[in-house]
Structure 1
């Protein structure tokens, strides 16, 4: 027969949610930082074609 699972404590639930939200906040901060660096042309970790490269190919 099926046996009910034990109830998860509120502290465990809150800890899991806090971890999940923290990871999301860290990823959002990294994305914002990368976007700002791309806009200011200071990015070292993001490769994208510049307008000069397109003119040279034609």
Structure 2
């Protein structure tokens, strides 16, 4: 016979939600930082085609 599961406490629920939101906020912060570094030209670990390279190929 099926038995309902025990109710999860509010603190466990809130802890899981806080962890999930913290991970999302961290990823957003990293993406924004990478975007800023690409715009300023300081990025070292991210390669992308620039307008200068496209003109050299033509």
* TM-score (normalised: structure 1): 0.93
List alignment gaps of at least 5 residues for structure 2. none
Q: Which runs of 5+ in 1 are unaligned?
A: none
- Alignment partner, residue 16 of structure 1: 16
Q: Which runs of 4+ in 1 moved over 6 A?
A: none
Where relative contact order (Cα < 8 A, 6+ residues apart) is larger, the structure is 1
Report the equivalent of 2:49.
49
Aligned length in residues = 58
Structure 1 residue 21, shift from structure 2 partner: 0.3
Question: What per-residue deviation string (whole Å, max 9, x for no partner) do you get for residues 5-32 of structure 1?
Answer: 0000000000000000000000000000
TM-score normalised to the size of structure 2?
0.93
